[in-house]
Each structure stands twice: as C-alpha cells, then as structure tokens.
Amino acid sequence: MFSKTCEYAIRSTIYISNQSKEGKNVGLNDIAESIASPVAFTAKILQKLVKDNIISSIKGPHGGFSVSPEQQKKVYLVDVVRCIDGEQTFNGCGLGLSECSEATPCPIHFEFKEVRTRLKSMLENTNITDLIEKLEKGETFLRL
C-alpha cells in the first residue's frame, strides 16, 4: 500500500523519535544504516520530512535530526504518508487503473475501498508517541 520511499520515511520518523526521547540528535548515516536505506536516498526523504515539519534538522557539530516531544504528539502517521505519497494511498485504484470509480469500478473496487478506509482511520489515529510507547514496552520492534 505504501511506496518504498514512504516505508523508509515512516521508519526514519520512528527511529529519530525514539532516539530523540533519549535526548539525541541523529546523524544521516546512522539513520540510513538503522533503516537499511541508501544514504543519498535517505537524505532526500529527510529533506521532505523537515520541509513538512514532521522532523527537525539541527546544523553544526552536535546537529542531526530530531523530533521534539511536542512534534511526536502532533505528528500522525497520516502526515508522513501524505508528505511522501500524497493522497494516492487514500484515493487510488487497488489495481492502478486510471478510470476506476464508483460508476466504473475495477474488480476489487468496493473491497479495496473498505481496506483504504480502515487504513486511513488507523493512520489518522496513530501518532508517533503511540508508536514509541509500543517500542518502549517491547510490544513492537524496529530492527530489520
């Protein structure tokens, strides 16, 4: 459902947020290595996330990327998905057809519409703080 870029963006945001909780600014190379993404590709993703105020960038010798506790509460997964993939995740055809609609549905249109609706609801109701708390409790993991 998500592009590979979006998957990396979500992983990056979670990883940076988790490190930020410990008071750390995280460098590009560390992020790329931790999410198993090429450095140059990761840099482009992080630029988009900074531009949309999902993460923060600090320049200088003690710089890096971070997510403040306030940002972690305000940023929802839907924000990351919209930043990277736009609205296509929520509006596109499950088979990638350009003419798919209620009037001219593809073979999976109505079933896929239900899945998209549930996915959007989950993304709109899950903030970064929720994900970090699950990591801390050991309910989830982020290692690849």
Q: Distances in Å between the alpha carbon of 5 and those of 36, 55, 133?
A: 12, 16, 24
Tokens representing 45 are: 């993703």
Decide if 124 is inside a domain: yes
Q: How many degrees, rounded to 5, is the angle at CA 127 between CA 62 and CA 67? A: 10
Decide if 102 is inside a domain: yes
Distance CA 31, CA 16 (A): 7
Q: Distances in Å between the alpha carbon of 74 and those of 39, 52, 125?
A: 27, 12, 11
3-state secondary structure of 64: strand
Q: Which segments in the chain show pLDDT lower than 70?
A: 143-144
Distance CA 9, CA 13 (A): 6
Q: Which domain holds residue 28?
A: 4-137
pLDDT value, residue 23: 85
Decide if 52 is inside a domain: yes
pLDDT value, residue 143: 67
The CATH number linked to 123 is: 1.10.10.10
Decide if 49 is inside a domain: yes
Under 8 Å between Cβ of 71 and 53: yes
pLDDT value, residue 60: 84
Decide if 133 is inside a domain: yes
Under 8 Å between Cβ of 84 and 5: yes
pLDDT value, residue 68: 94
Global pTM? 0.90
Decide if 84 is inside a domain: yes
Under 8 Å between Cβ of 12 and 31: yes
Decide if 46 is inside a domain: yes
Distance CA 118, CA 121 (A): 5
Decide if 144 is inside a domain: no
Q: What total number of domains does the chain contain?
A: 1
